[in-house]
Chains A and B, each alone.
Chain A
């Protein structure tokens, strides 16, 4: 008997594979996998129409644990395979799973261009600010001074901010979440899937072995509310245990203010659809020690979609001109030998 996805509503079990999950116990990837397996059945997309393509690294083992179509490709190149697949099969729901090394170091070029082109794919970037699979070297998102196997005296590199890179790449959908924020993470995955065009979800993910606690300010129950700013479209930016703090713009600088003192009406309002990236960029720069870290949707814009435009050009050409290959053969000057 064959599995027919259409006969029953899909559940998370339909998306689990028979492969043993080999991430370290306590790895943040497990939490993300759980959210993905929970979210995909809710999208209403047949399982066979979902493809997950990854690069190399701990995060890139992801496809092996998802019972969809999938490719575990090569280091940094997953977005390129996703682009080709989407041009061949625009109807498929294509995910790319990458990490801070895979997506921003070796694959930085493809990351940028996939977002810029607005190919209709969803990129999940698991950011643990370290190389895990190669046993702990600093990554493009590691803090300056990070001591690792390859930086025993502390990293002297300037880190990049994935959200900032995505803004610079003119991405049409940019979001951030945290591995253990179960509901929030699921919400961001759903928003990304629903977006038409390229989407980036940066997922702050904890590497328990080589960089444990890199995001503890966001995940410690005691500190979390002081450090996380939940972005909500059309809402004033408030955070803190009782939402008593807010963000206000002072000239071109954001500042943390007491809501009771300044009044909610004077807080910065979130607008994920702002046509200019100024607000999103300002938010992307916020983080410790002076600011909370924003999570949620930074940008969600309706922009022309590459894979769709490509097919529109194909269909327009087909409507204009018959698919006459022999006429193409005869283009230009011909002559007969009799």
Chain B
């Protein structure tokens, strides 16, 4: 959708409703920063925003190599959006390797901005180019190419500054950012303030970045090559104060908020692992909120410490990724047996084994569901978006405490790194988490049950007269004394299962969106929400009989799921695995769902889901 009008500077101005930009370059080129700056500024300008960083697993990959390419995708719009965008409209490539990797994704007719200076013989060689692609005539027919000497222009504007050449060259990303700011009519204020704060002790570096940013902006304003300035108007969102959060920040905020709502300290014990470590980093900075973090010696110790902290009466959580969950499973079973409240966050990544640490996947669903010996039910929640990690971290703690059980949160690498605006809640609007610690010894039984939930009492050490022993051995109901009696084991297994099943009575029904007369339901879980919703909304608006729903509660399922499934002729289940939710749905509801799997380490694209829906509909 394009709206044109004349601009005063002799350049025209056009209005767009959404744009996707991909910033890419060498790891040292500051592309994550550039993308974050543009994202933050766009959000402050009132756009809805969704971002997705993509950086190499290597800490310092060789400069200019294909392995060292770092990218940041940014989608901003004048309406509500749910994904970081399928294919970029604009590609900013700071070196040949970045161009090599990401050019195939640029939409035909899209804008390419490249730093011509970086296309040296040596860099072209490293990227595997025989000839300079910027000099390829075909390029200009496919894309709107702006091959600028970004490095030279940056050095020139910084000529008079008493800085090393290398320090000046490092400012080239801000030149590129300035140019993009002009292209999309963005104010420089946010970035200028950021520069001032960031380099407060290095005034010369601050000055250099400021000059580079302004020079890039003025270059757009004056260079003839850029004849159009694009405007993406404000969205009309829900009233409130917003900030950007990624899934890991949101999860950390959710955990500390849950602790506040329960009036308790938070103990978070974790072992460093990609892509979950950031949760530990955030929480370790929040000691003023009585957050106590423990960097354990291994994944097992992290799980053990979490159990110990829960036993002591703290809100307790641990975070990890798939390989860590494998190691934690024995201790998690102990938590199931002790019936203590705690939360395990699995930020899923590509597996099996070490797999693809920095890439996303949804292939740990069955592990979370069944990956423990014995009958060992654990509730599972899966956030639908980065900001939803906040909501579900609180919800997971609420369930853990109310039902006295460990709870899994299945986050995803994609959600962990992707950012979106988060409407900052007021604490007073959040429902407190009610905690009870019995202190009356008369009639106390460690494994007595609250009738409604079947939860056992959370009695804390330090309570006089209620000394008792818990353990991993099977027990008698009520007393919790060790028992291998046939009837006791059967009873306890049923009690533990019923306790989790009853959570269904406390969670919201599954909501369906899309075409009112839909024959096809697209049912996803977790982070595929944005892509599925966008695809289905587009098709439903175009009159296709398709609806969608996203499961955030995976064990137990929402109470109405069976009824929802029964309403549709067909059910399509897209997941980043080989059909794990599909397997559960078939087993549980005897519904012949169609599975759409993808295992590429990347989230779904809207177009992929649209295409699959069209294919399914065409079978009718």
Q: In the complex, what residue of chain B is closest to A329 when comparing beta carbons?
A: B424
Find residues 56-89 in chain A having any chain B CB closer than 8 Å to their own CB: 63-64, 67-74, 77, 79-89
Task: Judge whether B297 and A110 touch: CB under 8 Å.
Answer: yes
Q: Assuming A330-B243, A335-B46, is B301 touching A317 (CB within 8 A)?
A: no
A334 CB–B CB distance under 8 Å: yes
Which of B290, B471, B473 lies at the interface centre, i.e. has the most chain A CB atoms within 10 A of its CB? Answer: B471
The residue in chain A whose Cβ has the minimal distance to the Cβ of B243 is A334
B372, chain A: closest CB distance, angstroms: 12
* Distance between A4 CB and nearest chain B CB, rounded to angstroms: 6
Specify which chain A residues have a CB less than 8 angstroms from the CB of B534 in the assembled complex: none
Which of A83, A92, A330, A338 has the largest count of B CB atoms less than 10 A from its CB?
A: A83
Do the beta carbons of B316 and A84 come within 8 Å of each other? yes
Indicate whether A153 reaches chain B with its CB closer than 8 angstroms.
no
B441 contact set on A, CB distance < 8 A: 2-3
Inter-chain contact A333/B243, CB cutoff 8 Å: yes
Q: Which chain B residues border A334 with CB–CB below 8 Å?
A: 241-243, 424
Q: Measured between C-beta atoms, what is the minimum distance from A2 to chain B in Å? A: 4
- Asked if A80 and B44 sit within 8 Å, CB to CB, the answer is no
- Which of A25-33, A45-53, A173-181, A206-214 forms contacts with chain B? A45-53
Known: A48-B462, A63-B471, A64-B482. A85 touches B338 (CB 8 A): no
Bound CA–CA A258/B244 (angstroms): 78
Q: Residues of A contacting B470 with CB < 8 Å?
A: 70-72
A43 within 8 A of B: no
Q: Are B307 and A336 in contact (CB under 8 A)?
A: no
Shortest distance between the CB of B435 and any CB in chain A (Å): 14
Residue of B nearest to A70 (CB): B469
B interface: dominant SS: mixed
Determine the residue in chain A with the shortest Cβ distance to B440. A2
Q: Are B427 and A325 in contact (CB under 8 A)?
A: yes
Asked if B312 contacts A84 (CB within 8 A), the reply is: yes
Nearest-neighbor residue (CB-CB) of A60 within chain B: B471
| Cβ contacts B427-468/A at 8 Å (1 or 0 each) | 100000000000011100000000000000000111111111
Q: A71-B470, A92-B312 are in contact. Are A337 and B292 (CB under 8 A)?
A: no
CB distance from B405 to the nearest CB of A (A): 17
Q: Given A3-B441, A337-B237: A317 and B304 within 8 A (CB)?
A: no
Bound-state Cα–Cα, A3 to B305, Å: 30
Q: Is the CB of B289 within 8 A of A87?
A: no
- Interface with A: B253-261, B350-358, B607-615, which one? B253-261
Are A317 and B287 interface neighbours, CB within 8 A?
Answer: yes
Q: Of A4, A326, A332, which one neighbours B427 at CB under 8 angstroms? A: A326
Q: Which of A5, A77, A322 has the most CB of B within 10 A?
A: A77
Contact of A330 with B461 in the complex, beta carbons under 8 Å: no
Q: Which residue of the partner chain A has the closest CB to B291? A: A314
Given B242, B265, B292, B304, which contacts A73 in the complex, CB threshold below 8 Å? Answer: B304
Cβ-based interface call for B425 (8 A): yes
- State A88–B304 Cα separation when bound (angstroms): 13
Is the C-beta of B472 less than 8 angstroms from some C-beta in chain A? yes
- Give the chain B neighbours of A328 by CB distance below 8 A: 253, 256, 286, 289
Number of contacts between A and B (CB, 8 Å)? 222
Assuming A73-B304, A88-B265, A89-B312, is B237 touching A313 (CB within 8 A)? no
| Chain A: minimal CB distance from B324 (Å) | 14
Residues of chain B within 8 A of A316, CB atoms compared: 287
Q: Counting CB contacts under 8 A, is B239 at the interface?
A: yes
Q: Which residues of B555-611 are within 8 A (CB) of A? A: none
Establish whether residues A77 and B304, one from each chain, have CB atoms under 8 Å apart when the complex forms: yes
Contact with B along A1-33 (1 / 0, CB 8 A): 011111000000000010100000000000000
Instruction: Please tell me if the beta carbons of A72 and B469 are within 8 angstroms of each other in the complex.
Output: yes
Q: Are A333 and B297 in touch, CB under 8 angstroms?
A: no
Contact B462 A329 (CB under 8 A): no
The answer to whether the Cβ of A220 comes within 8 Å of any Cβ in the partner chain is no
Q: With the chains together, A334 CA to B421 CA distance in Å?
A: 9
Residue in chain A with minimal CB distance to B303: A80
Q: State whether the Cβ of A310 lies closer than 8 Å to any Cβ in chain B.
A: yes
Decide if A89 touches B313 in the complex (CB within 8 Å). yes
Contacts of A112 in B (CB 8 A): 297
Q: Beyond A67-B467, A73-B471, A109-B298, is A333–B190 a contact (Cβ under 8 Å)?
A: yes
Task: Give the docked Cα–Cα distance between A197 and B451 (Å).
Answer: 43
Residues on A with C-beta less than 8 A from B462 are 48-49, 69, 89, 91-92
User: What is the CA–CA distance of A19 and B468 in the complex, to the nearest angstrom?
Assistant: 12
CA distance A19 to B473 in the complex (A): 14
Tell me the nearest residue of chain A to B286, going by C-beta: A328
Q: Are B469 and A332 in contact (CB under 8 A)?
A: no
C-alpha gap A92/B467 in the complex (Å) = 13
Q: Which residues of A contact B286 (CB under 8 A)?
A: 328
A331 CA / B287 CA spacing, docked (Å): 15
Would you list which residues of chain B between 116 and 170 have a CB under 8 Å from chain A? none
- Contact in complex: A74, B309 (CB < 8 Å): no
User: Quick check: A323 and B300 within 8 Å, CB to CB?
Assistant: no
Q: Which single member of B44, B239, B309, B481 contacts A88 (CB below 8 Å)?
A: B309
Contact with A along B54-80 (1 / 0, CB 8 A): 000000000000000000000000000
Are A92 and B464 neighbours in the complex by a CB distance under 8 Å?
Answer: no
- Is the CB–CB distance between B442 and A330 below 8 Å? no
A67 to chain B: closest residue by CB: B467
Q: Which of B294, B330, B468 has the largest number of chain A CB atoms within 10 A? A: B294
User: Within the complex, which residue of B237, B288, B291 is in contact with A322, where a contact is CB–CB below 8 Å?
Assistant: B288
Q: Which B residues lie within 8 Å of A5 (CB)?
A: 464-465
Whether the pair A51, B461 counts as a contact (CB closer than 8 A) is yes
Contacts of A46 in B (CB 8 A): 464
Judging by beta carbons under 8 Å apart, are B473 and A84 in contact? Answer: no
Chain B contacts of A3 at CB under 8 A?
Answer: 441, 464-465
A318 in the interface (beta carbon within 8 A): yes
**Which B230-247 residues have a C-beta within 8 angstroms of A?**
236-244
Q: B290 to A113, Cβ gap below 8 A? A: no
A84 in contact with B304 (CB, 8 Å): yes
Are B46 and A83 in contact, CB atoms less than 8 angstroms apart? no
Distance, CA A323 to CA B264, complexed state (A)? 13
Tell me whether A314 and B471 are in contact in the complex, defined as CB-CB below 8 angstroms, given that A325-B257, A325-B260 are known contacts.
Answer: no
Q: Is A321 an interface residue (CB 8 A)?
A: yes
Q: Which residue from chain B places its CB closest to the CB of A338 in the assembled complex?
A: B239
Partner of B287 from the list A69, A88, A318, A325 (CB cut-off 8 Å) is A318
CA distance A33 to B242 in the complex (A): 60
Shortest Cβ distance from B193 into A: residue: A333
A71 close to B311 (CB less than 8 A): yes
B468 proximity list for chain A (CB < 8 A): 69-70
Q: Which of B239, B300, B338 contacts A337 (CB 8 A)?
A: B239
* Residues from chain B with Cβ under 8 Å of A6 in the complex: 464
In the complex with contacts A5-B464, A84-B308, A325-B289, A74-B256 CB distance below 8 A: no
A-B contact pairs, 7 of them (CB 8 A): A49-B461, A68-B467, A70-B469, A84-B304, A91-B462, A311-B292, A334-B243
Given contacts A80-B303, A314-B291, A317-B287, 14 further A-B contacts (CB under 8 A): A2-B440, A69-B469, A71-B470, A74-B331, A80-B300, A84-B267, A84-B294, A88-B313, A89-B461, A314-B292, A325-B427, A329-B425, A332-B244, A336-B242
Q: List the 7 closest pairs (A to B, CB-CB), nearest first.
A: A80-B304, A84-B308, A72-B471, A84-B305, A88-B312, A317-B287, A81-B308
Chain A positions within 8 Å of B, measured between CB atoms, are 2-6, 17, 19, 46-49, 51, 53, 63-64, 67-74, 77, 79-89, 91-92, 109-110, 112-113, 310-311, 313-314, 316-318, 320-323, 325-326, 328-338
